[in-house]
Amino acid sequence: MADIFTKCREFTRAKEIMAMGIYPYFTEISSAQETEVIIDGRNVLMLGSNSYLGLTCHPKVKAAAAAALDKYGTGCAGSRFLNGTLDIHRELEERLARFFRKEDALVFSTGFQTNLGTISALVAKNDTVLIDRLDHASIIDGTRMAFGKIKKFIHNDMEDLDRVLSLCNENGKLIVIDGVFSMEGDIARLPRINELAKKYGARIMVDDAHSIGVLGKTGRGTSEHFGLESEIDLIMITFSKTLASIGGCVAGDESVIHYLKHHSRPLIFSASLPPSAVATVMACLDIIEEEPERRERLWNITHKMQSEFTGMGFDIGKSETPIIPLFIGDMEKAFMMRKLLFDAGIFVNPVVPPAVPPEQALIRTSFMATHTDPQLDFALETFQKMGKKLGII
């Protein structure tokens, strides 16, 4: 008789990487998520955070979180559907709906759940969901939970999207894409996606996890970046990156949000976002509006790092954002590069298959508005040294 745990005992890959001394995951950090963090008592430069505007320790954000903790306590002890909706959940939803120029919005407890709960509720038996091959795991899992058909198109390839749409029937269609692709740092071709959606009668949902506060003149994301806010049907975000918290939200037409409130299982059957997390998001939205210089600084850093890395001979692929991958290819070499950088005092995230296609392992660097020039210069010097050492450049 087969033992269901056999596969666990036979899973040796991670332990082999540990034995080689280059295992990079679950690293313990004993300080706040800022440009420098403390690991094993050492100060390490953080080039792997998604806190793009550097707001996790902003005094106004911390004060708002503390005030909410004081007033409402630590948790809601229930789902939004039943006992877990606070007045500030609703206030945040109304604020986010206004921010995204939509009729309404719905707050979930994580971004992952937002994608699961939105896609699985909307894509019914005879519908089709169309996704980019490099969409985030939460989108892919959302499609797996849905009862409709799943069709994938080649990453950012609009001819392929056209082809795939032409094969769909007359039933409902939803195109779901990352606004900014989380590993590659390139931007979805929203204008063409919008044209194709209109041609075939499909709806569009954009995952703006990495775009909120980053893209667009006022930080409203990918659709603002392209001037397409009134065309995009659903905007999804997470609170776990620029918004320095945890949670997620989807914004769209009132009827769609109302439907999700009554059909989305990850919303209905999971506890609601804690009050301090809600207040954090509201304070971060204030700062996105009040301190546009943060976004400006982030983009200056992005352009500087993109051109410096490219000048050194690194392959940054098609990055157009503060997510700048350095393509390495071989997985062990990516782990080695991460280890050399770490020993030299820099934290980066290695990304290996299956998160990226085979032989396309990369080092994902990501930048924060609060990185200083000396920190960036130190990073460039170190990357060049280690890149040469490993024969990457």
Residues serving a catalytic function are 182, 210, 241
Query: Helices then strands (H, E): number in the chain?
Result: 15, 13
**Burial (CB count <10 Å: 0-12, 13-18, 19+), residue 180:** buried
CB 263 to ligand PMP: min, Å: 20
If the CB atoms of residues 277 and 298 are measured against ligand PMP, the closer one turns out to be 277
Give the count of residues interacting with ligand PMP (CB under 6 A): 14
Q: Output the smallest distance, CB 288 to ligand PMP, in A.
A: 17
x/- mask, ligand PMP, residues 138-167, rule CB under 6 A, reads x-----------------------------
Whether residue 201 contacts residue 157, with contact meaning beta carbons closer than 8 Å, is answered with no
One of 84, 117, 142, 248 touching ligand PMP (CB under 6 A) = 248
Binding segment for ligand PMP (CB under 6 A), chosen from 28-36, 203-211, 270-278, 357-365, is 203-211
CB of 112 to ligand PMP, least distance (A): 3
Q: Tell me if 294 contacts ligand PMP by CB under 6 A.
A: no
Site for ligand PMP in 105-124 (CB under 6 A): 110-112, 115
Handedness of CA 27, 32, 36, 41 (dihedral sign): negative
| Least distance CB 384 / ligand PMP (angstroms) | 28
Segment 207 to 246, residues that bind ligand PMP, using CB under 6 A: 207, 209-210, 238, 240
Is there a contact between 238 and 209 (Cβ–Cβ < 8 Å)?
A: yes
How far CA 134 is from CA of 34, 111, 193, 311, 386, in Å, comes to 28, 17, 15, 27, 29
Site string for ligand PMP, 67-86 (x = CB under 6 A): --------------------
- DSSP of 67-87, one letter per residue? HHHHHH-S---SBTTTT---H
d(CA 195, CA 202): 10
Of 33 and 384, nearer to ligand PMP (C-beta) is 33
For position 178 contacting ligand PMP by CB under 6 A, the verdict is yes
Please identify, using beta-carbon distances, which residue of 99 and 112 lies nearer to ligand PMP. 112
Contact (CB, 8 A) for 336 and 28: no
Binding footprint of ligand PMP on the chain (CB under 6 A): 110-112, 115, 136, 138, 178, 182, 207, 209-210, 238, 240, 248
